[in-house]
Amino acid sequence: MLAAKGLYKFYGSVPAVQDVTFSLEPGQVIGYLGPNGSGKSTTVKMLTGLLEPTDGEVTYNGQNIHEDLVAYRKRLGYVPEEANLYPYLTGQEYLDMIGTLRAMPDARKNARINSLLELFSLWPHRHVTLGSYSKGMRQRILLIAALMDNPDLLILDEPLSGLDVTSTLIIKNLVQALSARGKSIFYCSHILEVVEKVCSHLIVLRKGQVIASGATREVRERIGTSSLEGVFLHLVEEKDVTQVANQIVDVVVSA
Ligand SMILES: Nc1ncnc2c1ncn2[C@@H]1O[C@H](COP(=O)(O)OP(=O)(O)OP(=O)(O)O)[C@@H](O)[C@H]1O
Ligand SMILES: [Mg+2]
């Protein structure tokens, strides 16, 4: 249903994403992995229609998403890496605005907002302004905003950022429950142990290029290590992390 075909993005002459191709079917959860600056969020912005690819295209059910971006966005729930939430709106007002922008019928919108605020433990904070929310509370509001209109496709850019242990466990289970209902999920993260548990497929990026992709187990087996952490370090990182940590301490404590 969602397909990326030969996606490239250049910022000036710098390539941020190079030749990314994949398809995401109903019920699949693709984990999009890579270190900082490898091109994950740039890809996500092209998938959501926020950025035009320098080359290649994104299609949804066979149609280029830019042909009818409004209809595409109606089926899409997106949790951005960073959001400039309106600081003077309360949590409830913000969700109400999102539901209105998405043209949800009032009764459904209000019922969903109330239930989801309760389930995400934000009900007592519903009349507090977003500017006073903690990082994890803002993240939960973003998750509600992405889910409230029952999207077929969810694009999550580091969705666990700032979440506490309980919320993290809920979101992990939620991703699995949504995929069991046939939703397609594109899950962007550098947190390996989460991705390993919730993703059916993996795409590993390095410097904007795909260096491994396939079913999670296949990618793991191909590399011949049992843990994804091993795969990741093997494929992506060339650094001796202990040595780097020690060098940092040496600099910090130096005279
Ligand atoms: N607006 C921009 N203008 C110029 N360069 C950019 C812009 N946005 C991203 N880049 C560059 O593109 C590359 C990929 O960035 P991107 O944000 O996609 O990485 P990421 O994989 O999401 O990283 P992180 O894990 O830190 O979120 C980086 O080299 C970054 O500096
Ligand atoms: Mg990013």
Q: How far is the CA of 31 from the centre of ligand 1 (A)?
A: 18
Specify whether the CB–CB gap between 122 and 140 falls below 8 A. Answer: yes
Q: Is 190 in the pocket of ligand 1 (CB under 6 A)?
A: yes
Phi, psi of 178, deg, nearest 5? -70, -40
Encoded tokens for 187: 């899950």
> Is residue 86 lining ligand 1, measured as CB closer than 6 Å?
no
Assess whether the C-beta atom of 201 lies below 6 angstroms from ligand 1.
no
Q: Which helix (H) or strand (E) holds 51?
A: none
Can you tell me which residue has the tokens 């998403």? 65
Going from the Cα of 35 to the center of ligand 2, the distance in angstroms, rounded, reads 9
Mutate-to-test residue for ligand 1 from 42, 47, 52, highest number of ligand atoms within 8 A of CB: 42
Tens-digit pLDDT string for the chain (255 aa) = 999 999 999 999 999 999 999 999 999 999 999 888 999 999 999 999 999 999 999 999 999 999 999 999 999 999 998 888 899 999 999 999 999 999 999 999 999 999 999 999 999 999 999 999 999 999 999 999 999 999 999 999 999 988 888 888 889 989 999 999 999 999 999 877 778 889 999 998 989 999 889 998 888 777 665 555 666 666 666 667 678 778 878 888 877
Is 102 exposed, middle or buried (CB count within 10 Å of its CB: 0-12, 13-18, 19+)? middle
Q: pTM of the predicted model, to two decimals?
A: 0.90
What pLDDT is attached to residue 231?
Answer: 62
Residue 191 vs residues 118, 159, 229: alpha-carbon distances, Å? 28, 10, 9
Domain ranges of the chain: 2-253
> How distant is the alpha carbon of residue 16 from its chain centre?
17
* Nearest ligand 1 atom to alpha carbon 42: 18
CA–CA dist 209, 61 (Å, integer) = 25
Query: Which of 20, 41, 210, 237 to mutate to test ligand 1, by most ligand atoms within 8 A of the CB atom?
Result: 41
**Bridging pattern class, strands 55-60 and 63-64:** antiparallel
What would you report as the CA-atom Rg of the chain, rounded to the nearest whole angstrom? 19
Residue with tokens 């548990």: 197
Q: Which residues pair with 156 in a beta bridge?
A: 79, 187
> What is 2-253's CATH number?
3.40.50.300
Tell me the helix, strand and coil percentages in the chain, rounded to 5: 45, 25, 30
State phi, psi for 92 to the nearest 5 degrees.
-65, -40
Q: What residues pair up with 202 in beta bridges, in sequence order?
A: 31, 214
Residue nearest to atom 12 of ligand 1 (CA): 16
Does residue 50 line the site of ligand 1, with CB under 6 A? no
Q: Which atom of ligand 1 is nearest to the CA of 205?
A: 21
Single-letter amino acid, residue 198: V
Going 68 to 8 to 234 to 159, the CA torsion angle's sign is: negative
How far, in Å, CA of 155 to CA of 107, rounded? 26
